[in-house]
Structures are given as C-alpha cells and as structure tokens.
Amino acid sequence: MDGNLNMIGYGLAAIGPGVGIGLIFAAYISGVARQPEAQSRLQSIAILGFALAEALAIIGIALAFVL
Amino acid sequence: MSGIGSALLPQGSIRTEGFTPPGPADFDLPPIGGDFGTFHAFGQEFVLGVTKPMLQLVLSAVLIFGFFYLASRKRAMVPGKLQFVGEEAYGFVRNSLGRDIIGTHDYQRFVPYLFTLFTFILLNNLFASIPFIQFPTFSRSGMVYGLALMSWIIYNVVGMKKHGIGGYFKLQSVPAGITGPILLLLVPLEFMSNIIVRPVTLALRLFANMFAGHLLLILFALGGEYLIVEMSLAYAPVGVLAWVLFLAVAFLEILIQFLQAYVFVLLNAMYIQGALADEH
C-alpha cells in the first residue's frame, strides 16, 4: 500500500478549518442558549461562517489531488 | 481491489499486491454507448460522449418539473399532501433564503432562480444516496463550473444594472468609510475577493464536498470488502466495522448533501444582496 505525502499535508492543513468550524458552532450554540428567539437570525450567520471556514479545507483537498 | 476501480486505473500503473485505495480515477465514468472521438483543449484530453452525470442532470430536471407540476396542478385552499410538500419547500426558500437575506424590497424577482437552483442542486446531490444511481452529479467539477458561472453573471449584471458599471465596481472594491493610502492595499484585495475568487470558491465548495464524501464511501465499502474477503479471518470483524461506519457516513452524507445545496443558494442570495446594497 503506497501513499502520498500530499495527503499527510492535507490532514495537517485541515486542523485549522476544523478548529474554526468548532469555534463558529460553539458561539452559535451559546448564542441560542442565551437568547433562543434569535435562532433564526443566528442560523444563517453561523452557516455562512461555516461555509467560509470550510472553503479553506475544500481548497486544500482540491490542491492535495492536483499538486 | 476489484470492481470498477481496477478497470479504470490509468494504463501503465503497477498493480501491486494488496489494497489499492480509491482515487480520483474512480470518478471518470466511461461514455455510455461509446465515444465520438476526442479533442484537446486547456492542455487536457476531452472525450466526446454522454456520461452518467449528464443523464442525471436531465433526469433531475424532468423529475423536479414533474413533481412541482403535479403538486401545483390542483391548487386548493386546504392543501393536499403533495401540495403541502411543494408549498413547504417553496416557502422555505422564499422566506429563509430570499426574504431574510435579499430584503423585502427586491427579493421577489429572484425567488424563481433561487428556488430552481436549490431543488436542482438538492436532487442532484441526493442522487449520491439513491439506490441504483449512487453517483453525485456534482462530483464532476465541470458540472459545477456551469452553475457558478451562471450565478457570477447574475449577481454582477444585477449590480451593474442598479449602480452602473463604474458605481458597481466602486461598491464592490472600495470599502465604505476608508480613506487614505490604505486604499492602495484594500482595493485590489476587495476586487480579488468579491469579483474573482467568489465563483471559484462557490464551485469548489460544492464539487469538493460531493467528491470527498463519495470518495469516503468508496473507501469504506472497498476497504471493508478487502478485509473480509481477501485477508485472514482475524481481520473480518474490522471489515464488518468498516461497513458499519459506511452506513453511519452514508447518513452523514445525506445531511451534507442538504447543507451544501442550502449553502450554495445562501451564498448566491448574499452575493445578490451585496450587489444590490446601497452605498452607506
């Protein structure tokens, strides 16, 4: 079974977005816990932040296959 | 490894003993009924022919049209089951994606586009989990570039119509309330991020999510099969565990398929809203 060093690099690169997405949803959950009626407003903001942080991981996996 | 993967390995690669992990080659489906020749463009070889994801695009359009035609044919004051499902889906996109993001003044003329986009992407993503189809259409990047190009044209044209060409580029590339030499740094950055990078990340996000999710499922399925069939009996429980994880990941994938359709349309709505925003 042979592997590729790119994939190890991608695994390391995915740590950053992983931490970022965790922070985003932690803030979302505590925001909803404090003020449940704000959920609908917070939800789209949280999903947007999640999408932006995830974009880094996504670019990483695309480059891991391309490079 | 057996099955489709080994048949599609590039010519000249050495088949070593043991497990061959799945890779991007597993997504290169052959044209159905043979190809009509090849041509070269962008330094790559393209094959002329009809492949499975192309048929899925057509199938999804037909299915969505059929479903909403049936759902809206008998419009009743008290909706039946089918009409209720159709109305719920329409109301979800109209209220949470259209009205809340674009704003009450402008949202109505974009709702048909957003709704079509949402149902189209959602069904094409769900094809990855529907038995006998089991291939996400948007795991082929070319399919996604078309959608991203369309949304790029739409939000730019909408903004240019409202603000004029010069006013639109000023809105997108000069941040409000900033003066002085820092603008030399900020204007190219904002222009890059708002005009050039947006369609690329939009396309790559949907493509790579579908691609990576499906690759993960192939890995669990083939790895489990290899552990059970090819290796000694002591490894069989691990293979069964891999198949259990396959099921868990398959359910997670359904969540991600929905979420990616939602995010794609959400970002489209946000870009349109940003292009329509008044200067402040």
Beta-carbon contacts below 8 Å between A and B? 43
Prediction ipTM score: 0.73
User: How many domains does one find in chain A?
Assistant: 1
Distance to chain B for A67, nearest Cα, Å: 13
Q: Which of A40, A44, A58 sits opposite B208 (nearest CB)?
A: A58
Average pLDDT over residues B141-168: 93
Average pLDDT over residues B155-164: 93
pLDDT at B159: 93
Q: Chain A partners of B205 at a C-beta cutoff of 8 Å?
A: 51, 54-55, 58
Please state the domain extents for chain B: 4-276
Q: Which amino acid does the sequence have at B225?
A: E
User: Is the pLDDT assigned to residue B250 strictly greater than 80?
Assistant: yes
Contact B267/A51, CB-based, under 8 Å? yes
Partner-chain contact A1 B19, CB within 8 Å: yes
Res B80: pLDDT:
84
CB B128 within 8 A of CB B253: yes
Nearest to A48 among B211, B259, B266 (CB): B266
Mean pLDDT lowest for which of A11-15, A62-66, B171-175, B255-259?
A62-66
Residue A33 to residues A19, A30, B5, B242: CA-CA distances in angstroms? 21, 5, 48, 36
Q: What does the longest C-alpha to C-alpha distance in chain A come to? A: 53
CB nearest to A58's CB, from B18, B205, B266? B205
Determine how β-strand B44-47 pairs with β-strand B38-41: antiparallel
Output the pLDDT for position B41. Answer: 81
pLDDT in tens, B181-236: 889 999 999 999 889 989 988 998 899 889 888 988 998 999 899 989 888 888 89
The answer to whether A61 contacts B21, with C-beta atoms less than 8 Å apart, is no
B266, B153 Cβ separation under 8 angstroms:
no
Least confident of B74-83, B108-117, B179-188: B74-83
Residues of B in contact with A44 (CB under 8 A): 96, 100-101, 266
**B-contacting residues of A 1-60, CB under 8 Å?**
1-3, 40, 44, 47-48, 50-51, 54-55, 58-59
Structure token pair of residue A55: 């974009």
**Mean pLDDT over residues B99-106, rounded?**
88
The b/e string for B237-252 (b: 16+ C-beta within 10 A; e otherwise) is eebeebeeebeebbee
Q: What is the pLDDT of residues A7-64, one digit of tens each?
A: 888 889 999 999 999 999 999 999 999 999 999 889 888 988 888 888 788 778 777 7
Instruction: Report yes or no on A45 lying in a domain.
Output: yes
- Reduce the DSSP state of residue B268 to 3 states and report it: helix
pLDDT given for residue A2 in this prediction: 59
- What is the DSSP-derived secondary structure letter of residue B192? I
Which residues, at least 6 apart from B208, have a Cβ–Cβ distance to it below 8 Å?
A58, A59, A61, A62
Å from B153 to nearest chain A CA?
Answer: 21
Any domain includes A29? yes
Report, as an integer, the average pLDDT of B135-151: 92
A56 part of a folded domain: yes
With bands split at pLDDT 50, 70 and 90, how would you rate the model's confidence at B11?
very low
Domain that residue A57 falls in: 21-66
Residues of B in contact with A40 (CB under 8 A): 96, 100
B201 touches chain A (CB under 8 A): yes
Does residue A59 lie within any of the structural domains?
yes
Q: Name the pTM for this structure.
A: 0.85
Residues of chain B neighbouring A61 (CB-CB closer than 8 A)? 208, 211-212
